[in-house]
Amino acid sequence: MLIEIVRHTPAWVFALLAGLVWLGIRRSRPGEVSRGQLLAVPVAMTGLSLAGLAQSFGADVVAIVAWTTAYGAMLALSLGRPPRNDVQYSFASKRFRVPGSWLPLALMMTIFFTRYAVAVTLVLQPALSRDTGFVAAVGLVYGLLSGGFAARAAMTWRSASRRLPASLPAAVA
């Protein structure tokens, strides 16, 4: 059955997986990012999780409330934490120097495979799309994961108060 599931998966899903793996590997290395680059991944992951929610459950109120609650909780947790000590910001270049981390790859893969598993599950058991517990659980997971990206970006952004010299040595972005 697993082979049949993979065979019926559209090619674009594998292309998306490859792109996410590539992006996650890039984020594992230290580098510099602009404000736009800092926000791009959380925005994309939020869009991916919301698209998965909408595709699976439409405008289901339980799904939306669960997602919003979890996303908001992750952001609230980040506001209670001090700015990151491992991030520096140059006001001259308007770029953040960030350490490498495997966390973004782990979060991306978790969102991707959760969305894939939910889609397959709903194809095999369509009645689950009306099961309040299942809908709420999926909404919470999507909200926590995409909220994790938003929280990480918010904490990095708050680190802009830490100054760097006007010029930064070249680093891998």
Positive or negative, the CA dihedral 79, 80, 82, 84 is: negative
Please give the single-letter amino acid code of residue 6: V
| Dist CA 39 CA 166 (whole Å) | 23
Q: Tell me the backbone φ, ψ of residue 95, rounded to 5 degrees.
A: -130, 150
State the chain's mean pLDDT as an integer. Answer: 88
What average pLDDT does this structure show over 122-132?
Answer: 94
| Dist CA 108 CA 106 (whole Å) | 6
pLDDT in tens, 98-114: 999 998 899 889 989 99
For the chain, the 3-state helix, strand and coil shares in percent, each to the nearest 5, are 70, 5, 25
pTM (2 d.p.): 0.81
pLDDT in tens, 152-173: 888 888 877 655 555 555 444 4
